[in-house]
Structure 1
Amino acid sequence: MSQSYGSYDPYGQQQQNNGYPPQQGHQNPYADVEQGYEMQQQQQPVDPNTLLNEVREINDGIRTLKAKREGQLAVAQNALLESNTGREDQSARGYLEEIERELNDGFYKLKDDLRKIKNTKGSDNVHSQIAVTGRNLGAEIEQYQKSQSEFTKRLKEQVRRRYQIANPEASPDEVDQGVESVLAGTEQSFQVAGARNKRANDVRQATQERSAAIRKIEQDMIEVGRLVQEIAELVQQQEPAVQQINQGAENVAHDLQNANTQLGQAVVSARKARRWKWYALIIVVIIIAIIVAVAVGVTQSK
């Protein structure tokens, strides 16, 4: 697992800068090799320490992707929102798609790595770590979805404003229909009376770039949604082992508590027993003293 989670690209394909290429789902070209490796892992138990190290690497990968989401993705989103020229729009969207692709591929790789460990024979403690790590991965992907959803909302607001700039005479209904057509990709250019100036052309291109970015994000979110479901199912499969561990821990704690209670009772009983022994010893000494005193008194009187 030495590959970088931030730049892992199993496809070797370059996304287009204009438009959005057809999607066929996230496929793994090494699936057959990985299946053979997983079958071998299932047959041969692996040292739990090795598995725990691999789980830690996945957690490191999650932190790396989180940093990329909070850093590079946020920068790329703002760059597209703030761009003003056609050239800036193209450059910003190209960079944004690159970061999105790295994040998506990174999430898929982490999920595949987690699934491989899960299918490997190991201790129940390792399985519990897998469940925790799976939930962490799912939570980070949900944060990514939230970020993209908020960004898409802001892009749509920009599309509407810029469509209105390019079509100042359009009625509200015409603006709604036009924006919907642009977002759907059915309207590729605006009809601006007299082709007023370069500003109008920039507005058209900016709207097209943003609508293309929106369509790509929406398609990506469909794939990411499936990924979240797969991770949720993987974590759910680990729950019986986790529950068994938790139940075992509860039983140990309960037994330990009972043992402490019984030990405390034994200590109290021992203290009481020692106290009664002292009482008995004192009584015996008193009786002996009385007997001796009586004997001495009788002897002296005779």
Structure 2
Amino acid sequence: MSYGQQNPYGDQPPQAQYGQSRQESYGQYGGNPYASENPYGGQGGLSQQTSAYSQSNYSAPVTHQNTAVVQAPRGAPMSNQDFLARVEAVRQEINNLSSQVSSIATIHQRVFSSPDSGASGQLESVTTNTQILNTRIKDEIRALEVDSKRSPGNSTKDSQVRSLKNSFKNQLEQFRKEEQEYGQRYRDQIKRQYKIVNPEATDDEVDEAADADWGNEGVFQTALKSNRSGHASSVLGAVRARHRDIQQIEKTLIELNQLFSDLAEAVVIQEPAVQAAEEQTAQVKGDTEAANVQLTKGIKSARNARKLKWWCLGICVLIICILALVLGLYFGLRNK
């Protein structure tokens, strides 16, 4: 590229960041460098702010397995035919992911060779869509895995889920390697461009420049102190653009690591507990109905007992009246 021309990135603000749903994950890796306080206001060094890319090990494998407790869906598990149809649909999605990753690599190369705002915008858009596709594939595989867990002994479902997971992991790994490779190439390009502006800079200073937060205006102004020519401003504008590309890659790698962690989780179905709760509910309902029947019988028996009591009382009164009448007549006639 020619550094004598005006760099389109020189005066542009950082691009809006994508993937807002992962902001909490981004914060776990050191926070947003653009949001940090400017430590360069009155100081002349670049060593005080380094890139998270140089400090984080994005390729570290998952060393422990978490557990994902999943609520089992209602209804019976899918038939093998329906299950295999959904597997085929997911395979097609994974093929689409492979195409997306290839497109991202092509756009990276274009941005690296001849940076322009259009290519950077396209790169951000394609990367965002790819991450959305990644999440959808992960969710679909999880749903199939849950169905497989609900079909114990079904080797067809188990093998298909394992195959899908391996295919998806391979594509994610390819994506991660591509991003890591271009992240390093962008950092190397920053070193070369910084060396153009500051030919006397030592290797340590060049390394610090590659890791500096070029989105911070203080860093940019500090670097211009030694060379305020228009050429230096244009080159440092390109450095700032490369830094934005590196930050985009950092976010992508963080999200890919989260996907690997999600795929490594052991799925635990909550269905037995739900079934036990349903059975207990049915038993309580049955007991309640039986109690209502017994209560109805008890009420009916109590009413009958009260009726019998009144009948007995009436008979006793009647007998007393008859005895009184008979005795009265007997003694009355006898006296005459």
Query: Normalising by structure 1, what TM-score?
Result: 0.60
Partner of 2:294: none
| 8 Å CA contact 1:184, 1:215 repeated in 2 | no
Per-residue CA deviation, residues 193-251 of structure 1 (Å, 9 max, x unaligned), is: 56322x333211111111121122123212211211221335x98xxxxxxxxxxxxxx
Residue 168 and residue 20 in structure 1: after superposition, are their counterparts in 2 closer, same or farther (change >3 A)? farther
| 8 Å CA contact 2:215, 2:240 repeated in 1 | no
Shift of 1:146: 0.7
1:112 partner letter: D
> 115, 127, 135: which is aligned to 2:158?
127
| 8 Å CA contact 2:141, 2:161 repeated in 1 | yes
Partner of 1:213: 245
1:187 partner letter: V
Q: Distance in 2 between matches of 1:178 and 1:155?
A: 12
Q: Distance in 1 between matches of 2:110 and 2:96?
A: 22
Q: Distance in 2 between matches of 1:19 and 1:166?
A: 28
Shift of 1:187: 2.2
Determine helix, strand or coil for the equivalent of 1:159. helix
Alignment gaps of 5+ in structure 1: 1-15, 27-36, 238-302
Asked if 1:179 is matched to 2:210, the reply is yes
Partner of 1:40: 73
Q: Distance in 2 between matches of 1:40 and 1:180?
A: 48
| 8 Å CA contact 2:183, 2:249 repeated in 1 | yes
Alignment of 1:60-75 (within 5 A): 60-70=92-102, 72-75=103-106
Alignment gaps of 5+ in structure 2: 1-12, 27-69, 269-336
Asked if 1:159 is matched to 2:225, the reply is no
2:91 partner letter: N
Per-residue CA deviation, residues 98-127 of structure 1 (Å, 9 max, x unaligned), is: 121122111111010110111124443112
Alignment of 1:30-109 (within 5 A): 39-41=72-74, 43-70=75-102, 72-84=103-115, 88=116, 90-109=117-136
Q: Which has the higher contact order (CA 8 A, sep 6+)?
A: 2
Q: Distance in 1 between matches of 2:14 and 2:122?
A: 9
Partner of 1:195: 228
Determine helix, strand or coil for the equivalent of 1:24. helix
- Length, aligned pairs only: 205
Per-residue CA deviation, residues 19-78 of structure 1 (Å, 9 max, x unaligned), is: 64672249xxxxxxxxxx96434x4222221111111111111111101212x1122101
> 139, 144, 148: which is aligned to 1:112?
139
| 8 Å CA contact 1:69, 1:144 repeated in 2 | yes
Determine helix, strand or coil for the equivalent of 2:212. helix
Q: Flag as ranges the 4+ runs of structure 1 deviating above 4 A.
A: 19-22, 183-186
Q: Which has the larger radius of gyration?
A: 2
Asked if 1:18 is matched to 2:21, the reply is no
Residue 136 and residue 45 in structure 1: after superposition, are their counterparts in 2 closer, same or farther (change >3 A)? same
Q: Distance in 2 between matches of 1:82 and 1:173?
A: 26
The structure with the greater share of residues assigned to helix is: 1
| 8 Å CA contact 2:107, 2:123 repeated in 1 | yes
2:262 partner letter: E
Q: Distance in 1 between matches of 2:166 and 2:120?
A: 31
Shift of 1:163: 1.0
Q: Distance in 2 between matches of 1:187 and 1:179?
A: 12
Determine helix, strand or coil for the equivalent of 1:119. helix
2:112 partner letter: L
Residue 155 and residue 94 in structure 1: after superposition, are their counterparts in 2 closer, same or farther (change >3 A)? same
